[in-house]
Amino acid sequence: MIIADVGDFRTAAQRRLPHFLFEYIDGGSYQQVSLARNVSDLADIALDQRVLRDVSALDPSITLFGQRLALPLLLAPVGLAGLNARRGEVQAARAVKDAGTALILSTVSACSIEEVAAGSGTPPWFQLYMLRDRGFVTAMIERARAAACPVLVFTVDLPAPGARYRDRRSGLSGAPGLAGDLRRLGQALARPGWCWDVGLMGRPLSLGNVAGVLGAATPLGDFLAWLGNNFDPSATWADLEWVRSQWPGPLVVKGILHPDDARAAVAAGADGIVVSNHGGRQLDGALSAVKALPAIVDAVGGSTRILADGGVRSGLDILRYRALGAEAVLAGRAWVWALAAGGQRGVAQLLAMFEAELRAAMALTGTVRFSPEAGRVSASPAEGAGENGGRGRD
């Protein structure tokens, strides 16, 4: 099929993936209200079109935590992403290296930190959960340090997993034991291309970073049950301070939606925050990131680096987030759909698409370049942008 936009990657992914895996990547929690708002609220942000400005030398690059990014976009951490193509996170990491941006590797990736770093030649950023087993958390931090991961992204919005009805209906969760395994096997066999590429040629089918805890061949249903039972509901800001004490490099806190939480993260030592509702996969009905972003920028915009995710479907969406004050944007589902559709080539195509769309949007808003690293806030919904990013309005 002809791929023209992110929706085409989604269609291709749905055709290729086993039903349970597509539903896991595509779905949100409960009735998916927040998932829908992430997309619709972002699309409602208008950009000011400006004319007769010299836009012949556009530069969408930024510098973030000492790393130059060719565009203000990172691939968000997505659990099980590597099961969508053969050794999928390695393929994605190669694509982002060629594109000059970065991948944030999930704790529950299919490929380990070490495999991704060795396979791509560049260590990824690493995303960490707070689990009950502090020894495991300490070991993961040490592995990220040993692999020279440049940034640690600490996810804080999972004291308990949100109810994801689509996963239950598909048989990914709520169907333990032989019955669940057979159901998922039947769905996999209905996708012979995936079975060959991933199921056979992509072995081992394990979760590389946690295989030492769970074993190399833990069924998916057992893994999800283990993960749900091991998120730590007792975690507090003191635990963030503890992580800060363990990690010497840049520390970014992901999952912030309230200005008071943003202030607390900065006070605990965070170098950056990601304004995020976890892709609509946790508290359904929570604010979308784009609605939460302006108040957080007002609260901490001068004291920390602000990133955002949720609903990114085009290069225009990158500029919308930039216009509201986010320095960089994370995209999750989009890159996993592209990975499922075409592996490394699909992710590379997606990144090239986003860059072309972003450049066009910059030209049409008179945005020549983005603010330098010292100017952390680019614009607000009510103020002009000029070089710093096309102004957004609710």
Give the number of C-alpha atoms closer than 13 A to the C-alpha of residue 312, restricted to the C-beta side.
36
Identify the H or E element spanning 103. strand 102-105
Give residue 99's Cα distance to chain centre.
Answer: 17
Least Cα distance to 316 among 302, 301, 331, 303 occurs for 331
- 103 forms bridges with which residues in the sheet? 75
CA distances from 301 to 84, 261, 312 (A): 36, 13, 21
Least Cα distance to 155 among 86, 267, 231 occurs for 231
- 273 forms bridges with which residues in the sheet? 253, 306
CA distances from 103 to 13, 69, 74, 93, 136 (A): 20, 11, 6, 6, 22
Least Cα distance to 250 among 157, 146, 145, 322 occurs for 145
Least Cα distance to 88 among 111, 105, 113 occurs for 111
CB of 294 closer than 8 Å to CB of 256? no
Q: Is 258 a catalytic residue?
A: no
The SS3 call for residue 270 is coil
- Identity of the amino acid at 230: N
Which one is catalytic: 19, 278, 281, 313? 278
- 274 forms bridges with which residues in the sheet? 254, 307
CB of 223 closer than 8 Å to CB of 207? yes
The SS3 call for residue 128 is strand
CB of 327 closer than 8 Å to CB of 64? yes
- Identity of the amino acid at 74: L
**Which residues belong to the active site?**
278
